[in-house]
Structure 1
Amino acid sequence: MTLGRAWVSVVLWAPLLAHAQFDKTPWPRSQATPKMDVVDVQGQRWTSADLKGRVVVLNFWATWCGPCKEEMPSLQALHKGRVDGQSDATHAVVIGINVKETASTVRRFMSAQHLDLPVVLDAQGDLTRQWGVRIYPTTVLIGPDGQARWRVVGEVDWNGPISRAWLHDLRVQPVSQAVRHP
C-alpha cells in the first residue's frame, strides 16, 4: 500500500474509530448478578423482582464525567422509548446510578439537561462496589431473566445501531448463548 492510500484509509476510518470509545465484555459467569432494591431521586422503588421480564440498562455515571454527560441524551431517549422521533421496539428500562454526589448536585444536573430517567444516588459507593464498577461511565446490560449479561465501559450512543442490536439480542438470546458471543 502506498503512503497516499494509507493516509486516505486513516482519514476515512478515523471518524468511525473515534466513536468506538467503549469496551463491551461478557458479565463473568463466576460473578452472581447483584440483587437490586433501590429508590430513585423521584421516590420510585426498583427491585430485581419488579424488573424481571424486562431488559435493563444500568448506567453508572457522575456529573463531573465528560463521557457520562455526552451519553446522557441518548440514555434519555432510550428511557423515553424513542429514537429519531419514532417509537422504539427495543425499549428497555434505563436506571442511572449516580456515584458519590449529593442529591442537590444530581437534581440540578438533571434539570439543566432535561432528564427524567430514573436516577439512584450511590452516595457511599456501595452499589458501585457491588457491581464491580471502577470506570465511568460503565453500563451493565441485564436480560429479561434478571441476569447481568454484559458490562460496557465507556461512552455509548444508545440510539445507534450497535447498541440497539445489543438490546435486541438480550431479548431473544437465552443466557447460555448471550455470554458466549461478544
Structure 2
Amino acid sequence: MHPGLTRRSCLSTALGLAGGCLLPAAAGAGEVQPWPRAERLPALDALDLQGQRWNFDKLGGRAVLLNFWASWCEPCRQEMPTLQQLVDVYGEDKLAVLALNFKESPAIATRFARNAAMTVPVLLDPGGQIAARFAVKIFPTTVGIGRDGRPRWRVRGEMDWSAAQALGLVDALLA
C-alpha cells in the first residue's frame, strides 16, 4: 500500500468516491447487533458455484464476513459492490468474504454473480437451512467472525461497507 494512503482511502478511491473521502453511511444502514455470548457459531457446510465445499475450518486464521443475500433483494444488490471490495483492501490472507445465496438456483446465483462482477466466493443455501441456523430473517444479513473463529456481531440490513462504521467493524475482527 502507498505510504500516504490508508485502507479507508484506498477503498473509497477503488469505489470511485470523490477525493478519496468516505461517504456517510446511508440513512437505512443496517442494525449492528453484538453476537450473544452464550450462542455458539453454527456450522457452515456449503457448496460454492464451482461445487467446492466450504466450512469454517478451511478459513482458519482469517476474519470472515458471511453475507446472506438473494438476487431479488434490492438492498443486497446495493451493498454487494462495497462488500466485495473489502477483500481487495484487507487482503485474502486476512479477510474472507463469503456471499451465501438464499434459496435460489445455481443458475440464478451464477447469472447475478457474473452480472455484478462478483469476485468473492458465492455459496449456495438452496433449502435455507444455513440461514435458519444463523437465525437470518432479514436480507441482507452479515455475520462477522474474528480471526480466532469466534462470532462477534451481526448486521441486519444493508450496510455501506466503505463507511467508517463498517470499516471499524472489520478492523475489530482483525485485531
Question: Normalised by the size of structure 2, how large is the TM-score?
Answer: 0.80
Judging changes above 3 Å, is the alpha-carbon distance between structure 1 residues 35 and 17 closer, same or farther for their aligned structure 2 residues?
Answer: closer
Match of 1:95 in 2: 98
Judging changes above 3 Å, is the alpha-carbon distance between structure 1 residues 109 and 29 closer, same or farther for their aligned structure 2 residues?
Answer: same
RMSD of aligned C-alpha atoms? 1.9
Are residues 1:36 and 2:44 paired?
Answer: yes
Judging changes above 3 Å, is the alpha-carbon distance between structure 1 residues 48 and 89 closer, same or farther for their aligned structure 2 residues?
Answer: closer
Alpha-carbon distance in structure 1 between the residues aligned to 2:24 and 2:174 = 27
Alpha-carbon distance in structure 2 between the residues aligned to 1:24 and 1:153 = 7
- Structure of higher CA gyration radius: 1
1:149-168 aligned within 5 A: 149-168=152-171
Alpha-carbon distance in structure 1 between the residues aligned to 2:147 and 2:43 = 14
Match of 1:19 in 2: 27
1:2-17 aligned within 5 A: none
Are residues 1:143 and 2:151 paired?
Answer: no
Judging changes above 3 Å, is the alpha-carbon distance between structure 1 residues 17 and 59 closer, same or farther for their aligned structure 2 residues?
Answer: closer
Match of 2:111 in 1: 108
Alpha-carbon distance in structure 2 between the residues aligned to 1:104 and 1:38 = 16
In structure 2, list runs of 5 or more residues that go unmatched: 1-22
CA contact (8 A) 1:42 1:118 kept: no
Q: 1:89 offset after TM fit, Å?
A: 6.5
Equivalent pairs, count: 152
Judging changes above 3 Å, is the alpha-carbon distance between structure 1 residues 36 and 30 closer, same or farther for their aligned structure 2 residues?
Answer: same
Question: Normalised by the size of structure 1, how large is the TM-score?
Answer: 0.77
CA contact (8 A) 1:100 1:123 kept: yes
CA contact (8 A) 1:21 1:154 kept: yes
Q: Deviations over 1:92-133 (max 9, x none)?
A: 100011101111111111111111211111110000001110
CA contact (8 A) 1:98 1:119 kept: yes
In structure 1, list runs of 5 or more residues that go unmatched: 1-14, 83-87, 173-182
